Amino acid sequence: MRATVINYGVGNLFSISSGLKRVGFEVSVNSEPFGNEDLVVLPGVGSFSAVSGYLGSRREVFEDMRKSGVYFLGVCLGMQVMFEEGTEGGISKGLGWFKGKVDKLIQNNKERLKLPHIGWEKLVVTDLTCPLTEGLNNQYVYYVHSYVAYPDDESIVRAVSVYGISYPAIVCSGNLIGTQFHPEKSSKVGKVFLGNLYRWVKK
């Protein structure tokens, strides 16, 4: 199984590449999908507006990729840009594959919750029949974010976590998958998720 990790110029691609390799993927890093891979991974670093800027002229490439039916994993910000729009760094357009928007995790911080939200939170699996969520219920995963997705269609949500509010942790529709947490930073539980993904893509 071949995976392409999309490099848009910032941050740590070693961890996600290594995480994918560990569960069996052959990994390449490139600025765009090659067109012959089994899985495209959009990692999560930077800001929504920065990634939106990267997507800019490449929207067609990603649209063609989606139509081809290749599996796609968006991690953190990579998941957020799968929605229609985001408010971080000014309102900017996402890929619009999922209906809904990306906005601040905490709108009105009366409880003085610390932000960014950094650390380990439990997953609450909302769809136990989804092969991607096998072995993940009540397990801790690692988050680093201040924004979350607010999907119009709740049926795409496979798992949530709670920090002030309940927010989507895993979303999935067809071959499009997104995680708000970082599987590559979530130790053994992250490996379980990536292993589930590998088997799903291979099937």
Three-class SS state of 56: helix
> Could you give the CA distance from residue 79 to residue 76 in angstroms, rounded to a whole number?
5
Q: Please, what is the minimum distance in Å from the beta carbon of residue 64 to other proteins?
A: 29
Q: Closest distance between other proteins and the C-beta of residue 61, in Å?
A: 24
Q: Which is nearer to other proteins, 87 or 187 (CB)?
A: 187
Cβ distance to other proteins smaller for residue 140 or 150: 140
Cβ–Cβ under 8 Å, residues 174 and 184:
no
Smallest distance, Å, CB 28 to other proteins?
A: 15
Give the amino acid at 8. Answer: Y
Nearest to 194 by CA among 35, 18, 7: 18
Q: Which of 76, 84, 145, 172 is catalytic?
A: 76
DSSP output for 125-165: ES-TT-GGGTT-TT-EEEEEESEEEEES-GGGEEEEEEESE
The one catalytic residue among 84, 88, 121, 184: 184
Active site residue 182: yes
Give 47 or 97: the residue with its C-beta nearer to other proteins.
Answer: 47
Annotated catalytic residue within 37, 117, 145, 182: 182
Site for other proteins, rule CB under 8 A:
10-12, 14-15, 18-19, 22, 45-47, 109, 112-121, 140, 142, 144-146, 163, 184-188, 190-191
Quote the CA–CA distance of 171 and 159 in Å, as a whole number.
Answer: 7
Stated length of the chain? 203
**Please, what is the minimum distance in Å from the beta carbon of residue 68 to other proteins?**
30
Active site residues: 76, 182, 184
